[in-house]
Structure 1
């Protein structure tokens, strides 16, 4: 089982962000820590201290949790869940809140062995546009401190496709990142999410993103460059050196069971999906009543098949055709014969070793392809 813990606090809302988060304040953190510990105990009893293969603290900004909160939560997590001896334990951090070497060392002592730094860009102009709370110098300093503290598995997040950005500028960002030698890179194209300041700017006509052809070159040539540098693309937006693929995220794409704790966290256990309330007070009330996890939706065979296709085609492994036939009783190739033929002729998809895989150009238009496939 995978375990995800949502930490909803941020110093401020970035201009592109639509995730559930709230301003940091110590009283709210105190209440959150108490409720999260209670939720851990509730699930520990309910699932009889289940075996956990990966732990992921996401947000929000988990690195805003003060040391006293970690001292309560980390031991409780170990008491309530049976952590695999080879557990992958990821902790997300923003560079501005990861500049304390003692804090980073304490994470390692608790068992965290993978740090995910939200760098987003190594250009200060880009960071100001995105509304990030750090500058490029702090990003590099946080990375260096994490290395000195002892982290041997560090992932860096970047965003490409910013207004005015050209392919050469994106490739320069990747060159700077590669020089730092992280084990993992996540590179996401900028998306304008409803309800964000960027969406308001776009609606007013003040946001002009690079054209489709320019974005296409950024994506394909960026991926090719990273692979030349030893970072294998294993998912639409994710690249890793050998042995450093994110096991937690891969578990989602493989359809593994996962438990989510904290406000707005989603879980899928034994074919049932449920979601915690997004508001901290509503989530805390449900924890007090012991009703978290109730009222979930049992996934139908059709939903499971659709998710199998959508998630597996995001990965370099692709869709395992035999497993699809076993799960659905249908032949995916025959069901989509004309479309798959056209996609293959255009270099967007390929068949090999019993898997249907998108090419790099296919990844670029994956949403359109997935909309047209029958499953």
Structure 2
């Protein structure tokens, strides 16, 4: 009996039902030197024994999916975590070799790895990454203020962050993204202004700017009563978001999604693929995949993940993406981008006219300066982006 579920024998599909040319591949590396105070992603403390187990299983999973999907073309690879830069170069090369063996790399594809300043601190490391084919870095600064880094539980200093950036540049990387966070405990508007100026001075091609969210089962979440009073008031956080967006746009960065800014030609193709509802394959523990009309999640824990890979069970426990879910995701993902929702796409998908269906809601949103309607697109304004979750709920397909 075949271990390959029947739907994997069908052509690989995109979210819109067209045959796919380029699949997105995400690899989750669930290891860190320690858990940051805000982090809700699946990760564990790095140790060689568990990592060796993880690597062996990951390589087997890559081979499994390569066979199932018949060496599909892939347009992006993204190593995230966790802290992928904890992987020694010779073992990272094993992962890249396996991908090249079992998948078809398209010309000019984007290959990204997330790095942290405490573990990526040698110029030779970045030269090794380039030699393996990595052409984009995402560096987890989060802040260039040592006080904030301590509060966040980051294992590096502001100086280390800047040094990591300069080493990557010297090694030859020409596409670097920097992660920043705002709305931090005791952070003032002037502090955020100083952070923005310091990061822009480095001239990265891309900046991701995230507001702090207090999530359950995190250090912050478990200490919510003491953390929340230290956060800037909602009105101040709103100012931080809008000022940050306007400042970055004034410095030549294009806001193409709520939290993402890029110089012309340097948007994240991998993340853009998510917002465009392209098929993506997630590898590693807890990774999520969407292929055709099926969505599935890998087991979180190593023993269950290993058993699923060895038994060929990955992808069997899936969620069917119904027409209702497709419509909801079209609205949700499109409105996260500054391009917005093309209203004709919604009508083509659902047979319904959103402007008529949600007329009173959209009119109210427009009158309150939260959305714009032009040239057949519905877009969030910057004020609308601040309350995007509420807006998306109000526009939900029913």
What TM-score bracket applies, with the shorter chain setting the length?
A: over 0.9
Aligned residues of 2:36 and 2:154 also touching (Cα < 8 A):
yes
**CA displacement at 1:71 relative to structure 2:** 2.6
> Which residue of 1 is the match for residue 3 of structure 2?
none
- 2:333, 2:360 → 1: CA distance? 22
Does structure 1 residue 304 correspond to structure 2 residue 304?
Answer: no
- 1:327, 1:63 → 2: CA distance? 41
| TM-align CA RMSD | 1.0
- 2:153, 2:301 → 1: CA distance? 23
> Which residue of 1 is the match for residue 128 of structure 2?
106
> Which residue of 1 is the match for residue 11 of structure 2?
none
**CA displacement at 1:294 relative to structure 2:** 1.2
**CA displacement at 1:204 relative to structure 2:** 4.6
> Which residue of 2 is the match for residue 140 of structure 1?
162
Structure 1 length normalisation: TM-score? 0.98
Does structure 1 residue 22 correspond to structure 2 residue 55?
Answer: no
* CA gap 1:352/1:34 in 2 versus in 1, 3 angstroms: same
> Which residue of 1 is the match for residue 279 of structure 2?
257
Q: Which runs of 5+ in 1 are unaligned?
A: none
Equivalent in 85, 88, 94 of residue 72 of structure 1: 94
- 2:226, 2:235 → 1: CA distance? 24
SS at match of 2:79: strand
Aligned residues of 1:201 and 1:207 also touching (Cα < 8 A):
no
> Which residue of 2 is the match for residue 51 of structure 1?
73
Give the ranges of 4+ consecutive aligned residues of structure 1 lying more than 6 Å apart after TM superposition: none
**CA displacement at 1:66 relative to structure 2:** 1.2
Does structure 1 residue 287 correspond to structure 2 residue 294?
Answer: no
**CA displacement at 1:374 relative to structure 2:** 3.8
SS at match of 2:325: helix
**CA displacement at 1:203 relative to structure 2:** 3.0
**CA displacement at 1:206 relative to structure 2:** 6.5
> Which residue of 1 is the match for residue 210 of structure 2?
188
> Which residue of 2 is the match for residue 365 of structure 1?
387
- 2:239, 2:325 → 1: CA distance? 34
**CA displacement at 1:68 relative to structure 2:** 2.7
Does structure 1 residue 211 correspond to structure 2 residue 233?
Answer: yes
Q: How many residues align?
A: 375
- 2:243, 2:283 → 1: CA distance? 38
Aligned residues of 1:305 and 1:324 also touching (Cα < 8 A):
yes
> Which residue of 2 is the match for residue 131 of structure 1?
153
- 2:192, 2:228 → 1: CA distance? 22
**CA displacement at 1:205 relative to structure 2:** 6.2
> Which residue of 1 is the match for residue 142 of structure 2?
120
Structure 2 length normalisation: TM-score? 0.93
